[in-house]
Amino acid sequence: MEDRKEKLKESILHSVIIVIIALTILSVFILEIKNNLLLIITAIIGMVYVFIYVKKPYNKKYLIINSAIGMIAALLWGVMIGRYIPITSAITIGLCVGIMDVVSFTKKGKNTMNAKVMNNKPLMYKLIVYGISFKDKSPVPTKGLGDFVYYAILLSTLYQYTKDTTILIWGCTTVFLGCVINWIIVCFIYKKSWYKGFPATIIPFLLLIPLYLTCLNN
């Protein structure tokens, strides 16, 4: 149990680092990639790379570097989607994906795509972003690629609608706060016999709703 606790602490530490890096990169992409054609091309190239990587045999040696490239691709893909959908669609996506994410962690959601991916270990390992252990340089699991696509869609749409950098910063801060709440909850439930993970999407989305509503009312 002590070993499990140490792994959790290390995973949360690296998750904090990775999320901060991801939100910083995401903000740069949203603000600086103004050419839509460039965005589409790089997003497609990134997704093709991820698809090819997923199809290859599992190799732990390349998890970290491929997960970093995958995270960049996921952020680009999310920014691209967010740039072309209305804010109401982003809210719908946020709600539906968040609910399905929660359901997938329950017995009733065992047949959802997310649950099936989690049960397919070699595939799941490839769809996680990893930090590098400070102890032995081994991969430390943090968040799934899908989580970063989700955050990117919500924040990209928010900025596309408002064109306000301050709103984007508030959005990034809110998403990070939602992640912090997730990590705190995990610290209290990871010892439970039924624990098999915790949905990373719904709480950040719920915290973003007031920001979305404020923008819609202005």
pLDDT at 1: 52
Spatial separation of the C-alpha atoms in residues 131 and 64, rounded to whole Å: 7
CA distances from 52 to 43, 49, 131, 151 (A): 14, 5, 22, 24
pLDDT at 176: 97
> CA 121: distance to chain centroid?
18
Query: Which amino acid makes up residue 35?
Result: N
pLDDT at 192: 75
Return phi, psi of residue 194, to 5°.
Answer: -90, -5
pLDDT at 109: 61
Query: Which amino acid makes up residue 108?
Result: K
Spatial separation of the C-alpha atoms in residues 80 and 76, rounded to whole Å: 6
Which of 46, 105, 36 shows the shortest CA–CA distance to 71? 46
Residues in Cβ contact with 120 at an 8 Å cutoff, skipping those fewer than 6 apart:
none
Low-confidence residues of the chain: pLDDT under 50: none
pLDDT at 6: 83
Alpha helices in the chain (DSSP H): 2-32, 36-55, 63-84, 87-104, 113-119, 121-126, 145-162, 165-189, 202-217
pTM: 0.92
pLDDT at 102: 83
**Pair 81, 156: CB distance under 8 Å:** yes
Cβ-count burial of 151 within 10 angstroms (0-12 exposed, 13-18 middle, 19+ buried)?
A: buried
